[in-house]
């Protein structure tokens, strides 16, 4: 069994992913641009919902903190979509096949339903479980929390961004834009955690931790 950080995939996302795999298999010489675009757009929205909107809702965040989190969501969403449109607008048939496999590989079946996620190293999975348990017992340390959540963010960026964008050949200028966009996404994700999690009252923080712990599944 492998531990994943994951969230339920929408029916549309799963359906389009399966459709792209079938389309590539049946018509490998045709670029199925609409499916690639729809999968990318929906995936970005669902990642933002899972990693940012979900925790915000569990906190019932309002006021200045809500503004900060909404700003982070906007930054990551705009950067991701701009890069997807820039990189995926013209792919080769080989790149399309690789993207179809990547989109499919991101999804795993858990309790009979499709989830999107990435695997954790066993050591990290164990450390995360211990961190969540320590906060339930009232002995958790904020530095440990930020460390684990940082690993979650970095894992998402590596598996969802790097491994997907890296499948498409780009020129020097576009590679520079991708690198700059990645840096923006990385900074925004870590900033969101550092500005929202430390200092929260335990009664306020625990629902957020419960939310993120629920994203750990074994497949």
Domain range summary for the chain, segments of one domain joined by + = 3-218
- How far is the first Cα of the chain from the last one, in angstroms, to the nearest whole number? 5
Rounded to an integer, what is the distance from CA 129 to the centroid of its chain?
Answer: 20
Q: What is the pLDDT along the chain (219 residues), one digit of tens a residue?
A: 999 999 999 999 999 999 999 999 999 999 999 999 999 999 999 999 999 888 777 667 666 667 777 888 899 999 999 999 999 998 999 999 999 999 999 999 999 999 999 999 999 999 999 999 999 999 999 999 999 999 999 999 999 999 999 999 999 999 999 999 999 999 999 988 888 787 778 888 898 899 999 999 999
Whole-model pTM?
0.92
Tokens representing residue 50 in the block = 């899972």
Tokens representing residue 138 in the block = 């009232």
Beta strands in the chain (DSSP E): 3-8, 107-110, 113-119, 216-218
């Amino acid at each position: 069994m492998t531990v994943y950080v994951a969230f339920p995939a929408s029916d549309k996302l799963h359906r389009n992913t399966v459709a792209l795999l079938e389309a590539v298999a049946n018509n490998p010489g045709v670029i199925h641009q609409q499916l690639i675009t729809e999968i990318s757009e929906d995936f970005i929205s669902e990642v933002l919902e899972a990693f940012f909107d979900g925790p915000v809702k569990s906190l019932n965040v309002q006021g200045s903190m809500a503004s900060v989190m909404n700003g982070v969501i906007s930054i990551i969403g705009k950067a991701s979509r701009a890069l997807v449109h820039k990189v995926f607008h013209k792919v080769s048939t080989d790149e399309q096949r690789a993207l179809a496999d990547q989109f499919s590989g991101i999804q795993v079946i858990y309790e009979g339903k499709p989830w999107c996620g990435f695997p954790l190293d066993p050591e990290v999975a164990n450390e995360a479980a211990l961190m969540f348990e320590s906060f339930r017992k009232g002995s958790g340390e904020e530095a440990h929390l930020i460390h684990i959540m940082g690993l979650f963010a970095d894992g998402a960026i590596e598996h969802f961004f790097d491994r997907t964008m890296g499948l498409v050949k780009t020129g020097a200028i576009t590679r520079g834009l991708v690198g700059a966009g990645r840096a923006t996404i990385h900074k925004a994700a870590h900033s969101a955690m550092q500005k929202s999690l430390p200092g929260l009252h335990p009664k306020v923080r625990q629902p957020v931790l419960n939310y993120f712990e629920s994203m750990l599944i074994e497949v």
